[in-house]
Chain A
Amino acid sequence: MTTGLVMERIRHAFGPMEVLQDVSLVAEAGKLTCLLGPSGCGKTTLLRLAAGLESVQGGRILLQGHTVGNGAEKFSLPPEKRDIGLMFQDYALFPHLSVFKNIAFGIKNLTAERREWIEAGLERMGLAKHRNSYPHVLSGGQQQRVALLRALAPEPKILLLDEPFSGLDVTRRAQVREDTLNFLKECGVAVLMVTHDPEEAMFMADHIVVMKDGKVVQAGTPVQTYFHPVDAFVAELFGPMNHFDGIVDKGALQTPFGLFPIPAIPDGEQAKVLVRMEGINVTMGNADGHPEEMPKDCCYTTGKIEDAYLLGRSSHLHIRVPKNHGHPDGEKVLLHVRVSGVMKPESGATVTVWADPKQAFVFAAD
Chain B
Amino acid sequence: MTQTAPPILASTIEKRLKTPSIDVWAFGTLMVCLAVAMPIVWVIGLALTPSGDIWQHLVDTVLGNLIITTLMLMIGVGLGTLVIGTGTAWIVTMCRFPGKRIFEWALLIPMAVPAYVIAYVYTDLLEYSGPIQGIIRDMFGFESKHDYWFPEIRSLGGAITMMTLVLYPYVYLLARASFLEQSVCVLEASRTLGKGPWQSFFKVALPLARPAIAVGVSLVMMETLNDYGTVDFFAVSTFSKGIYDVWLNMNSPSGAAQLACMLLMFVMVLIGLERYGRRKQKFHHTSTHIRELPGFKLSPMLATLAFLACAIPVLLGFLIPAWVLGSYAIDFYQDTLDANYWITTWNSLLLSSIAAIVAIVAGVFLAYSLRLGQSHWINVMTRFASLGYAVPGAVLAIGILMYLGWLDNTIDGWVRNNIGFSTGLIFSGTIFAVTFGYVVRFLSLSFGSAEAGLGKITANMDGAARTLGAGPFATLRRVHLPIMRGSIMTAALLVFVDCMKELPMTVMLRPFNFETLATFVHQYAADEMLPEASLAALSIVVAGIIPVILLSITIARSRAGHYAPEEPHLIEMEEAAP
B469 near A86: Cβ-Cβ < 8 Å: no
Chain A positions within 8 Å of B18 at CB level? 55
B483 near A79: Cβ-Cβ < 8 Å: no
Chain A positions within 8 Å of B463 at CB level? 48, 51, 53, 79, 86, 88, 92
Interface with B: A70-78, A248-256, A263-271, A296-304, which one?
Answer: A70-78
Does B57 sit at the interface, judged by CB under 8 A? no
Task: Given A53-B467, A74-B10, verify A94-B20 contact (CB < 8 Å).
Answer: no
Among B12, B469, B474, max chain A CB count under 10 A is at B469
Give the complex CA separation of A81 and B470 in angstroms.
9
Min CB distance A153 to B, Å, is 8
Give the complex CA separation of A52 and B464 in angstroms.
11
For B465, give its contact among A14, A75, A105, A108 (CB under 8 Å): A105
Does B471 sit at the interface, judged by CB under 8 A? yes
Does A281 sit at the interface, judged by CB under 8 A? no
Min CB distance B190 to A, Å, is 39
For B460, give its contact among A80, A90, A108, A151 (CB under 8 Å): A90
Task: Given A79-B466, A88-B460, A92-B464, verify A13-B12 contact (CB < 8 Å).
Answer: yes
Contact with A along B451-485 (1 / 0, CB 8 A): 00000001011011111111100100011001100
Number of A-B contacts (CB under 8 A): 86
Chain A positions within 8 Å of B19 at CB level? 78
A96 near B465: Cβ-Cβ < 8 Å: no
A94 near B16: Cβ-Cβ < 8 Å: no
A92 near B458: Cβ-Cβ < 8 Å: yes
Min CB distance B477 to A, Å, is 12
A79 near B13: Cβ-Cβ < 8 Å: no
Enumerate B152-197 residues with CB–CB distance to A below 8 Å.
none
B461 near A53: Cβ-Cβ < 8 Å: no
Give the complex CA separation of A83 and B466 in angstroms.
10
Does B15 sit at the interface, judged by CB under 8 A? yes
Contact with B along A66-104 (1 / 0, CB 8 A): 000000001110111111111011101111100000000
* Nearest-neighbor residue (CB-CB) of B457 within chain A: A95
Does A289 sit at the interface, judged by CB under 8 A? no
B466 near A55: Cβ-Cβ < 8 Å: no
Min CB distance B24 to A, Å, is 13
Chain B positions within 8 Å of A258 at CB level? none
Give the complex CA separation of A308 and B37 in angstroms.
74
* Nearest-neighbor residue (CB-CB) of B474 within chain A: A80
Give the complex CA separation of A95 and B461 in angstroms.
10
For A96, give its contact among B464, B469, B471, B482 (CB under 8 Å): B482
* Nearest-neighbor residue (CB-CB) of B483 within chain A: A96
Enumerate A267-312 residues with CB–CB distance to B below 8 Å.
none
* Nearest-neighbor residue (CB-CB) of B460 within chain A: A92
Min CB distance B222 to A, Å, is 35
A80 near B467: Cβ-Cβ < 8 Å: yes
B13 near A14: Cβ-Cβ < 8 Å: yes
Does B17 sit at the interface, judged by CB under 8 A? yes
Does A57 sit at the interface, judged by CB under 8 A? yes
For B469, give its contact among A57, A80, A88 (CB under 8 Å): A80
Does A198 sit at the interface, judged by CB under 8 A? no
Contact with B along A177-221 (1 / 0, CB 8 A): 000000000000000000000000000000000000000000000
Chain A positions within 8 Å of B470 at CB level? 80, 105-106
A82 near B479: Cβ-Cβ < 8 Å: no
Task: Given A55-B15, A79-B17, verify A84-B467 contact (CB < 8 Å).
Answer: yes
Give the complex CA separation of A52 and B467 in angstroms.
8
Does A323 sit at the interface, judged by CB under 8 A? no
For A78, give its contact among B12, B13, B20, B458 (CB under 8 Å): B20
Contact with A along B72-89 (1 / 0, CB 8 A): 000000000000000000
* Nearest-neighbor residue (CB-CB) of A55 within chain B: B15
Give the complex CA separation of A79 and B18 in angstroms.
10
A105 near B468: Cβ-Cβ < 8 Å: yes
Chain A positions within 8 Å of B479 at CB level? 94, 96
A94 near B461: Cβ-Cβ < 8 Å: yes
Min CB distance B298 to A, Å, is 42
Chain A positions within 8 Å of B469 at CB level? 80-81, 83, 106, 108, 154
Chain B positions within 8 Å of A106 at CB level? 467-470
Does A316 sit at the interface, judged by CB under 8 A? no
Chain A positions within 8 Å of B467 at CB level? 51-53, 79-80, 82, 84-86, 106, 151, 160
B471 near A78: Cβ-Cβ < 8 Å: yes
Min CB distance A256 to B, Å, is 49
A-B pairs, top 9 by smallest CB distance, nearest first, are A106-B468, A92-B460, A79-B466, A92-B464, A86-B467, A88-B460, A96-B482, A79-B467, A80-B469
Which B residues are closer than 8 A to A by beta carbons? 10, 12-13, 15-20, 458, 460-461, 463-471, 474, 478-479, 482-483
Which A residues are closer than 8 A to B by beta carbons? 13-15, 48, 51-55, 57, 74-76, 78-86, 88-90, 92-96, 105-106, 108, 150-151, 154, 160
Chain A to chain B contacts (Cβ below 8 Å), 6 pairs: A15-B13, A52-B466, A54-B15, A79-B466, A80-B470, A94-B483
